[in-house]
Amino acid sequence: MFVNWKNTVLWANGIVWACLGFVAGIALVSWGNWQEKVFWLAALFLGAWAFAAWKGRSWRAGILAFAFFAPFLFLGIWHMDARTKEFFAFPSAGYFAQVYTGEVEVHGYVGDVRKETERNLQVRIDAKELYASKSPRGEEITGSILAFAPLGTRVAVGEYVAVRAKLTQPQPIETFDYPRYLASQGIGAVMFRAHIAALPSPAQSDIARTILAGIARMRVHAREILARYVGGVEGEVLIASSLGYPLSRDTQQLFSRAGVTHLVAISGMNIALVMSILSGVFITWGLRRQKSILLSLAGIVLFVFLVGLGASVVRAAIMGVILYAGSIVGRPLSMLRLLLYAASLMLFFNPFLLFGDVGFQLSFAAIGGIVLCAPYFDMQLSHIGAPAKDMDWYTRNTTLQTSALWRLVRQTTALSLAAILFTAPLGAYHFGVFSVVGIALNIIAVPLFPFVLILAFCAIALGSVMVPLGAPLAWVAWFLIFLLKEAAMFTDALPISSITFAAGQAWVLLGGYAFVAGFMIWLIRKGYNPLTASMRLFHET
Average pLDDT value for the chain: 79
Q: What is the pTM of this model?
A: 0.77
What pLDDT was estimated at residue 145?
A: 95
Residue 4 banded pLDDT, cuts 50, 70, 90? low
Tens of pLDDT, residue by residue over 305-363, are 777 666 667 766 776 676 666 666 555 556 777 788 888 988 998 999 888 888 788 87
Number of helices (H) and strands (E) in the chain: give both, helices first.
Answer: 21, 9
By C-alpha distance, which of 232, 256, 152 is closest to 475? 232
Segments making up each domain of the chain, as ranges: 8-87, 93-204, 220-540
Cα–Cα distance between 290 and 28 in angstroms, integer?
A: 40
Q: Is residue 395 scored above 50 in pLDDT?
A: no
**Angle of helix 530-540 relative to helix 404-431, nearest 10 degrees?**
130
397 band by pLDDT with thresholds 50, 70 and 90: very low
N- to C-terminal Cα distance for the chain? Answer: 45
DSSP per-residue letters across 114-156: EEE-SSEEEEEEEEEEEEETTEEEEEE-BSEEEEEEETT----
| % of the chain residues with pLDDT over 90 | 17
Residue (of 360, 286, 372) closest to 323 by Cα position: 372
Answer whether residue 52 shows pLDDT above 60: yes
Give mean pLDDT, residues 222-235: 89
Condensed to tens digits (0 to 9), the pLDDT of residues 178-205 reads 898 899 888 999 999 999 999 987 766 5
Q: pLDDT per residue over 414-446, tens digit each?
A: 877 888 888 888 888 887 878 777 777 877 777
Residue 196's H or E segment, with its range, is strand 195-198
Residue 74 C-alpha from the chain's centroid = 28
Q: What is the pLDDT of residues 90-144, one digit of tens each?
A: 889 999 998 888 899 999 998 877 777 778 889 999 999 999 876 667 889 999 9
Q: Name the amino acid, one letter, at 252.
A: Q
Give me the mean pLDDT over the 493-520 stretch: 84
Distance CA 161, CA 133 (A): 19
pLDDT for residue 89 is more than 70? yes
pLDDT of residue 396: 43
pLDDT of 275-309, one tens digit each?
Answer: 777 777 787 787 777 777 778 888 888 888 777 66
CATH number of 93-204: 2.40.50
Residue 515's pLDDT band (boundaries 50, 70, 90)?
A: very high
pLDDT in tens, 362-378: 878 888 888 888 888 88
Position 475 scores a pLDDT of: 93
Q: Is the pLDDT of residue 36 over 90?
A: no
Please provide residue 128's backbone torsions phi and psi, each rounded to the nearest 5 degrees: -125, -45
Cα–Cα distance between 126 and 185 in angstroms, integer? 12
Assign 57 a pLDDT band (cuts: 50, 70, 90): low
Helix (H, G, I), strand (E, B) or coil at 221: helix
Portion of the chain with pLDDT greater than 70, in percent? 79
Residue 388 pLDDT exceeds 50: no
Q: Are 438 and 258 in contact (CB under 8 A)?
A: yes
Rounded to an integer, the average pLDDT of 14-42 is 78
